[in-house]
Structure 1
Amino acid sequence: MAITQPEEDIEPTGTKTKWQRFKSKYFRMKMLIWWTLLGVALGIILGAALYSVHPSSVVITLIGYPGELLIRALQELVLPLMVFALMSGVFNLRHSGSGTGRIIRWSLLYYLLSMILAVILGIALVFIIRPGRSRPFAANNFANCNSNVTATGATRADKSAVDSLLNIGRDIIPTNIVAAAAAPNFLGVITFAIVFAAGLITFGQRAEPLIQILEMCNEVFMKIIYAVIACTPIGVASLLASTILKSCSIISLLKALALYVATVLGGFLIHSFVLLPLTLIVLSQNNPIKVIRSFLPAIFVGVGTSSSAATMPVTMKCGEDYGCVPSIVRFVVPMGTNVNRDGAALYEAVSVIFIVQAHGLTLSVGNVIVVALTATLAAIGSASIPNSALVSMITVLQALSLQEYIPDVAVLYSVDWLLGMIRTATNIWGDACACVVVDTWARRHAKKNGTLPIKNPEPPAEQEMAMGVDSSKKDEVI
């Protein structure tokens, strides 16, 4: 009688084990974090060393030139990266089987609810605390340190709330998608990408060749963005040094950054320990303390890797250990990793409004709504890698026609190493809550109708292997 290897230990030829894949992702994430911190340190040292010399504007421009090239590269990539990422997220839904629509609807409904709560909380906190009230970015050089508000900012502030709200609809439905991409009108492009992908999956097998091409494009741009991020030490050092040299007061800049960090961390904590537990209690009647205890290993790994994608196998294991149905876990967690980013949405909304405040500008009600919408969509379309929220933040600034302030994003790199860890933990905790809530709803529905729950939608085998999911239980029903 032949002795066979246990099914869960069998790995396809030429593929890595789940532990090897996890280690590879973990160390790559850690390298990116340390690589970015190196650039931050170099920028602070260079800026502080030259600050007392008061270099000319030409010298400051030359110092900031490498960083300008980095920002241009990110601007070039952010549109296709977000479009293909959103399309890939929609394409993942095509693998759902018959009768599984309610699981998808419940998952998306909870994702949307938690992200909206996070964005509203972040916007409320940033307007209450006003971390940029000292206007540390208001001056472009030492000659105009006493300048108040730029002409562009005054023009934007004078727009009526009605016009701003009406412009949201106009941006969502552009007259020309190519012109919208060139403008750039990211709301229109994002809407078009989602609608196009949703329409494409209705064609079934006929659409598979095109879908595979678009998914490959997403993977290609992910590789390119990794290559660009590898250049961050030089770019971040350049931008950070030039920003310090342009600042009227280093002390004012540091105080503003400290308030900004406090605002973001306060938002993460309130969302994680107040809002998300409330959703667990109200929507599923689960004890938040028991849930968070079960998912602590995944949260700790997320803090270490700053990547919800690298942590996903651990999150799924925690969900199964808590008692959630494996088939629901294998759908809700991977989907949440790519869609549900509470921490990123809150972070981007706070960061953009902080930059606006730091320049002494004000936003109309309509513009605040644009920030909320774009921050949510940008968070959904961002990659599950360190600093991805900073990259997608460019989208929000461009949606507000604030392209000239994109270089200020580099200043946020100096503290993103800390915020990125807590942001990832918030994202993972949100995925955990979604998993528990959807599992509870599925059980209640089955009990109410007196039938076995439906089989849950699952990704195909090759995607399972790529995500580190055990496919040996593929035929298991809830």
Structure 2
Amino acid sequence: MKKKLSLTTKILLGLFLGFIFGLILKQVPNGFIKNTILLDGVLKVLGNGFTSAIKMMVVPLVFVSLVCGTSSMGDVKRLGRIGGKTMIFYLGTTAIAVIVSLVLGSTLKPGVGLDMSSVVSGEVAIGESKSVVDIILDIIPSNPIASLANGEMLQVIFFAMLLGVAMSILGKKADPVRVVFESANEICMKMVNIIMLFAPYGVFALVSNTFATVGTDAIFALLKYVSIVLLGLLIHVTIVYGGMFKLFTKQKIKPFISKFSRVAAITFSTASSNASVPASLEIMEELGVNKSVRSFTIPMGATINMDGTAIMQGIAALFIAQIYNIDLGINDMITIVLTATLASIGTAGVPGVGMIMLSMVLQSVGLPLEGIGLIMGVERIIDMFRTTVNVMGDNICTLIIANSEKELELNKYNC
């Protein structure tokens, strides 16, 4: 019995075949078959159809995921200091991660040298420049239904978080609504899984179109993009996580690293934050973290702490802006920071959903979704690394908060 190819293998195969087919197609003279039937026909239907399907899922997935994530916190008043510290750590490090990514993307410019502006039909418009005050005020929707219908993502995120917090405060009274949202979340995830089954064909079409238009220049830009993302992840782990751990615990990080290798093996193989939760809880227990802390911070982190994903989104947004020759201003950068930080709360801890969140970030500043097709082929490679960074952040946060609450047995940690 033949072993079925995994979706990741199929996507990589679609990338490779698209690369080969695109280079061959580039050598074919312009004509009816090349331009009308292939580029503007079959490849356009497959590629644009796939990106449209991704775009279709952005609003419902973000909305229901955020409501489920924030409503699962339990009694907000009872959580008290631990809940507050956890949220500050997770959102703070995610914001730092996006800023690091934007600095790297702006400085190293992964997309410069590759011109794909001719690939997008029509003009790509960036919204009018707004002041920081207006950006903050625009987060609050005057009509949440209209925001959902129009895909105003920051407003959708705000409304979803407010709804989730209200449900969390109400507790059991909100259980009937919570069940509906949990079911809706499962349905949305299943819809994403169904759409991702068509990813190999969409990637093949988008990559074919790219290389048929721009040739081999895309390869070097893609390698540069991957290298800069990995550099951003390394900086975040060593400087941000390492620095915060040393500053707030005054402990050696070696005992944690030796234990975390078990969790890293899971995140690398599954690219899933959720899959690592049992192993993370186990090593936190071994390192002396009290159950009252680890049972809250680890599952919460798997839901809302996505620093690695945020780094990828920031660099990917700039990469796509650069290859399409679109200039992003300071207000667009602020929008990316806000959107990626808040979107991290709604990023489900399963493989592949990062692309949905990336499309939301791109939409927030008016960047073309076609750029996603170019980076999807290397997405799995980046996904393994960024998921490991996500989960490492969960564990570092747990140790820092446990130490601050005197809930970390230091003799057990250092043994």
TM-score, normalised by the number of residues in structure 2: 0.91
- The offset of 1:151, in angstroms, is 6.0
Q: Are the structure 2 counterparts of residues 225 and 269 from structure 1 closer, same or farther at C-alpha, using a change threshold of 3 Å? A: same
For residues 391 and 409 of structure 2, what CA distance do their matches in structure 1 show?
27
For residues 323 and 164 of structure 2, what CA distance do their matches in structure 1 show?
38
Q: Which among 186, 210, 213 is matched to residue 219 of structure 1?
A: 186
1:381 matched residue in structure 2? 346
The residue identity in structure 1 corresponding to 2:35 is S
| 2:88 partner SS | helix
For residues 140 and 54 of structure 1, what CA distance do their matches in structure 2 show?
17
| Preserved contact between residue 124 and residue 366 of structure 2 (Cα < 8 Å) | no
1:33 matched residue in structure 2? 8
Q: Which among 178, 181, 185 is matched to residue 145 of structure 2?
A: 178
| Preserved contact between residue 85 and residue 383 of structure 1 (Cα < 8 Å) | yes
CA offset digits 1:172-209 (Å, max 9, x no partner): 12332222223321011111111122123333322211
- The offset of 1:303, in angstroms, is 1.0
- The offset of 1:394, in angstroms, is 0.8
| Preserved contact between residue 138 and residue 155 of structure 2 (Cα < 8 Å) | yes
For residues 221 and 297 of structure 2, what CA distance do their matches in structure 1 show?
38
For residues 214 and 412 of structure 1, what CA distance do their matches in structure 2 show?
32
- The residue correspondences of 1:79-478 to structure 2 (distance < 5 A) are 79-94=59-74, 99-140=78-119, 152=124, 160=129, 163-247=130-214, 250-402=215-367, 405-443=368-406
- The offset of 1:117, in angstroms, is 1.6
CA offset digits 1:392-438 (Å, max 9, x no partner): 11111111123xx1011010012112111111111111111011111
For residues 434 and 240 of structure 1, what CA distance do their matches in structure 2 show?
39
For residues 304 and 200 of structure 1, what CA distance do their matches in structure 2 show?
35
How many equivalent residue pairs? 403
- The residue correspondences of 1:64-75 to structure 2 (distance < 5 A) are 64-75=44-55
Q: Which among 35, 38, 57 is matched to residue 57 of structure 1?
A: 35
Q: Are the structure 2 counterparts of residues 35 and 286 from structure 1 closer, same or farther at C-alpha, using a change threshold of 3 Å? A: farther
CA offset digits 1:17-50 (Å, max 9, x no partner): xxxxxxxxxx99x933223223222322221221
For residues 441 and 185 of structure 1, what CA distance do their matches in structure 2 show?
38
| Preserved contact between residue 141 and residue 159 of structure 2 (Cα < 8 Å) | no
Q: Are the structure 2 counterparts of residues 61 and 171 from structure 1 closer, same or farther at C-alpha, using a change threshold of 3 Å? A: farther
For residues 219 and 421 of structure 1, what CA distance do their matches in structure 2 show?
23
For residues 93 and 342 of structure 2, what CA distance do their matches in structure 1 show?
13
CA offset digits 1:125-164 (Å, max 9, x no partner): 11110111214322228xx9xxxxx9655x75xx55xx24
- The offset of 1:108, in angstroms, is 1.1
| 1:93 partner SS | coil
2:18 matched residue in structure 1? 43
- The offset of 1:219, in angstroms, is 1.1
- The offset of 1:384, in angstroms, is 1.6
Q: Are the structure 2 counterparts of residues 35 and 377 from structure 1 closer, same or farther at C-alpha, using a change threshold of 3 Å? A: farther
- The offset of 1:340, in angstroms, is 0.5
For residues 118 and 50 of structure 2, what CA distance do their matches in structure 1 show?
22
Q: In terms of mean alpha carbon deviation, does 383-392 or 365-374 score higher? A: 383-392
Q: Are the structure 2 counterparts of residues 252 and 445 from structure 1 closer, same or farther at C-alpha, using a change threshold of 3 Å? A: closer
| 1:194 partner SS | helix
1:459 matched residue in structure 2? none
| Preserved contact between residue 110 and residue 221 of structure 2 (Cα < 8 Å) | yes
CA offset digits 1:311-349 (Å, max 9, x no partner): 221122121122212332222111100111110011101
| Preserved contact between residue 109 and residue 319 of structure 2 (Cα < 8 Å) | yes
Q: Are the structure 2 counterparts of residues 272 and 230 from structure 1 closer, same or farther at C-alpha, using a change threshold of 3 Å? A: same
TM-score, normalised by the number of residues in structure 1: 0.79
| Preserved contact between residue 118 and residue 343 of structure 1 (Cα < 8 Å) | yes
| 2:28 partner SS | coil
- The offset of 1:446, in angstroms, is 12
Q: In terms of mean alpha carbon deviation, does 214-223 or 323-332 score higher? A: 323-332
Instruction: Give the share of equivalent positions with the same residue, in percent.
Output: 27
For residues 323 and 54 of structure 1, what CA distance do their matches in structure 2 show?
68
| Preserved contact between residue 107 and residue 332 of structure 1 (Cα < 8 Å) | yes
The residue identity in structure 2 corresponding to 1:439 is A
- The offset of 1:289, in angstroms, is 2.4
1:78 matched residue in structure 2? 58
For residues 123 and 179 of structure 2, what CA distance do their matches in structure 1 show?
47
Q: Are the structure 2 counterparts of residues 42 and 95 from structure 1 closer, same or farther at C-alpha, using a change threshold of 3 Å? A: farther
- The offset of 1:95, in angstroms, is 5.4
CA RMSD of aligned residues (A): 2.4
| Preserved contact between residue 312 and residue 337 of structure 1 (Cα < 8 Å) | yes
CA offset digits 1:233-258 (Å, max 9, x no partner): 111111111122222xx232112112
1:456 matched residue in structure 2? none
CA offset digits 1:344-386 (Å, max 9, x no partner): 0111011011111111121111110001111112222122222
For residues 312 and 147 of structure 2, what CA distance do their matches in structure 1 show?
26
For residues 170 and 207 of structure 2, what CA distance do their matches in structure 1 show?
49
Q: Are the structure 2 counterparts of residues 446 and 266 from structure 1 closer, same or farther at C-alpha, using a change threshold of 3 Å? A: closer
| 2:405 partner SS | helix
Q: Are the structure 2 counterparts of residues 191 and 268 from structure 1 closer, same or farther at C-alpha, using a change threshold of 3 Å? A: same
Which one has a bigger Cα radius of gyration?
1
Give the unaligned 5+ runs of structure 2: 411-415
CA offset digits 1:35-87 (Å, max 9, x no partner): 32232223222212212114543221221311211111111111111111111
Give the unaligned 5+ runs of structure 1: 1-26, 145-149, 448-478
